[in-house]
Amino acid sequence: MQRNILLQYALILLIHITLTFAATNFTTTTADTFDILKAATITKPGCPSKCGDLTVPYPFGMGNLCAMAKWFELNCDSTFDPPRAFLDRIQVYEISDNEMQISNVVSKKCYDETGATVQGNFAKSDITGTSFSYSSKRNKFTVVGCDDFALISGGSGKKFTIGCLALCSEAKDVIGGYCSGIGCCQTSLPKGLKFYFTDIFTFKNHTGVSSFDPCGYAFFGEENRFVFRGVEDLSDPSFVERVTATVPIVLDWTIDNRTCAEAQSYDYACKGNSYCVDSGTGLGGYRCKCTPGFEGNPYLDPGCTDVDECADPSSNNCEHICNNFVGNYNCSCPDGQFGDGRRGGQGCHANLNSQFPVIKVSLGTGFGFLFLLSVVIWLYFSIKKRKLIKLRKKFFQQNGGVLLKQQISSNESLMDSTKIFTAEELEKATDNYAEERILGKGGNGIVYKGILPDKRIVAIKKSKEMDKSQTEQFINEVVILTQVNHRNVVKLLGCCLESEVPLLVYEYVSNGTLDEHIHGKGTLTWLSWGNRLRIASEAAGALSYLYSAASKPVIHRDVKSANILLDESYTAKMADFGASRLISLDQTEVTTLVQGTLGYLDPEYFNTSLLTEKSDVYSFGVVLAELLTGKKPIDMKRSQEQRNLTMYFIMSMKENRLFQILEPRVVREGSLEQLQATAELVKRCLHLTGKDRPTMKEVAMELEGLRKFTQHPWAQQPVHEESVGLIMNESDQSADLYTALITSNDLYTV
């Protein structure tokens, strides 16, 4: 079997080598033709095509018999080695199909230390009467110096004057590499310039800078060929020679001053297989270019000749065989192959009908193996999908899915408020529970951000564990909570029962937790005393509603600032009912295992394991203490006395130093009556005995009443003696402390 496979590969390799050799032979044969075409005539018969290193294409020529017009006549001076070409007295460096590079001239003025002029000249040039113009795209007017400005005047049909200013006071100010106006200035030229005159002037005759800059220079030339070298250019005595040797002036040239439309009616210069191009200089004039697929000189008979793209492999993209025809070419494949023959296209492929049977067998075997592999993969994923469906069905039943469906079908109101999500829906919504979708982690599970198909953003809670014996209780809880409709309670939208642990889907609340806003870094300008009191009132109202207004009382069991969310308008919403329990209307307590968050737990809860509404009241009292003090319930970094906030708060009230532990902003913005009343409410909520605590409804009503108090005027204006006297009647020591705090300079610098 292995020998047969090796034989197949050897035959394929042999065919490939044969075809490659044939293609190489063909390319080599056609390459000779390429060399012949490259020698196309560029000048009139009998006229020289070069002067030294310069190639001179027609319409340019050496003498009047070789040039199309007088302004195209060049003089080749053989006294130089190598010879140099001149247009009148201007040296020509290079000629392309639309531009010509010529020698430069620099305007220069130099001064001695006293400011006397020791050397100076101006520059001028005039190409009026020709079909040339100075290129506005390639040339820039440049001034180099530390005490100079230069003007360039010129034009064609219209005259103009532009200037450029270069100043600097010390050598260290000059930065090389570009012209910024400090030591070097550059500006653009207008279109259609045919003559110019440039001169350079000084402000202070270089006094003060002559030690490093004795001269000023002005010139224009090809922009990319001049690089300002900084102080080195300012003090270089050979600056003019360097510029004239390295920075040419670029001219745009055309046949004459007529447009293509005008020239075609009389003395048209474009010969066969060429087309006309208007110059775009604003002065008229046109040029000729060879039609694509042709090459040569478009100004000489018989015009442009066909390019044999097949002669140069780089001029075509044929894979094997190139066929040239006038103006273009095409590709083809050798006998026994098919395709378009182009590299990057279909290329050439072997014709299976003409190949050896072993290749057919190999291809058949390969396709058969691929088919078999595809069937195996399909069966594997089908079986895996069926197992997943069975597993999800099993979880759905274990988690009380049948019971939930029965309750929904028996109650029409539940159909609109309770949605059962599939596991696949929530996997897509959370991008398969990606790490970057995690909103938070807690003792009861992980919360993910999800995006449903209708673009709604939701929070999806994935619990850590589920007590199978509490399935019926869990379903009842979901049914009740999905019907809860309170502006300060996070809405439970539905659940998914197809996973090992049920998933709960809540509305998404965008502004984080109250815990983050109280204990976060930085100053939160929005968290004023009024907003703290509002949030406390809203949270208390929500808990009161859950206990007294819902169809079945709901005890939260994990009240803390981290479970109070804030929406985009900073409205409080109670969240995370993962530890909550429903109780019958004739029950007042539920026996359960101790659970919750350290620092918020009801002390009575530790001893009796009896869960009551008063347990939530105690936890809410801790949240109120957080809002008043800005301190965490438990902080091991604080001193032993201050480590537990509840004990520290109660002790501070007993010792009449409450205002020392309150957050400065709270003291500044809240009135004495509000702060004392709120502190007393906290003290009652934190009572060690549950029966001595107020109900959540009483807490909510008292907080709402406190909100209606107007802010005390002492927060904005000085405290008067008579006002202090009124306070002293109620609590002399507290009033003294409060007055000292709100008038202290330290308070306003916190």
- The binding site for ATP consists of 462
Concatenating the DSSP letter of every residue in 304-353 gives: -EE--GGGSGGG--BSSEEEEETTEEEEE--TTEES--BTTSS--EE-GG
The position carrying tokens 């592999």 is 373
User: Tokens standing for 464?
Assistant: 């850590």
Q: How far apart, in whole angstroms, are the C-alpha atoms of residue 444 and residue 329?
A: 75
Q: How far is CA 298 from CA 99, 253, 269, 287, 304, in A?
A: 16, 15, 8, 9, 5
Q: Do 675 and 667 meet the contact criterion of CB atoms below 8 Å apart?
A: yes
| Degrees to nearest 5, angle at CA 164 with 158 and 170 | 175
Q: Which amino acid is at 527?
A: L
Residue 415 backbone dihedrals phi, psi, to 5 degrees: -65, -35
Percent of residues in the chain assigned helix, strand, coil, to nearest 5: 40, 25, 40
The position carrying tokens 């809670």 is 461
| Degrees to nearest 5, angle at CA 177 with 175 and 178 | 85
Q: Would the CA dihedral through 36, 40, 46, 47 be positive or negative?
A: negative
558, 576, 602, 616: the catalytic one is 558
The position carrying tokens 């007294």 is 548
Concatenating the DSSP letter of every residue in 570-593 gives: --EEE---TT-EE--TT-SEEE--
**Element containing residue 389 per DSSP (H, E):** helix 357-398
Q: How far is CA 640 from CA 632, 634, 637, in A?
A: 14, 11, 9
**278 tagged catalytic:** no
Q: Which of 457, 454, 464, 462 is nearest to 491 (CA)?
A: 457
Q: How far apart, in whole angstroms, are the C-alpha atoms of residue 723 and residue 510?
A: 44
CA dihedral 13, 16, 17, 23 (to 10 degrees): 180
Greatest extent of the chain over all pairs of C-alpha atoms, in Å: 125
746 by DSSP, 3-state: which? helix
Beta-bridge mates of residue 463: 445
Task: Count CB-CB contacts under 10 A for residue 227.
Answer: 12
Binding residues: 462
Strands 215-222, 139-144: pairing kind:
antiparallel
Residue 163 half-sphere exposure toward CB, CA atoms < 13 A = 10
Q: Do 585 and 553 meet the contact criterion of CB atoms below 8 Å apart?
A: yes
Q: 676: which residues sit within 8 A by CB, 6+ positions away? A: 658, 731, 734
Q: How far apart, in whole angstroms, are the C-alpha atoms of residue 560 and residue 539?
A: 10
| Degrees to nearest 5, angle at CA 259 with 44 and 283 | 100
Give the single-character DSSP code of 567.
Answer: -
Q: Which of 680, 708, 723, 700 is nearest to 541 (CA)?
A: 700
Residue 321 half-sphere exposure toward CB, CA atoms < 13 A = 12
Active site residue ranges: 558
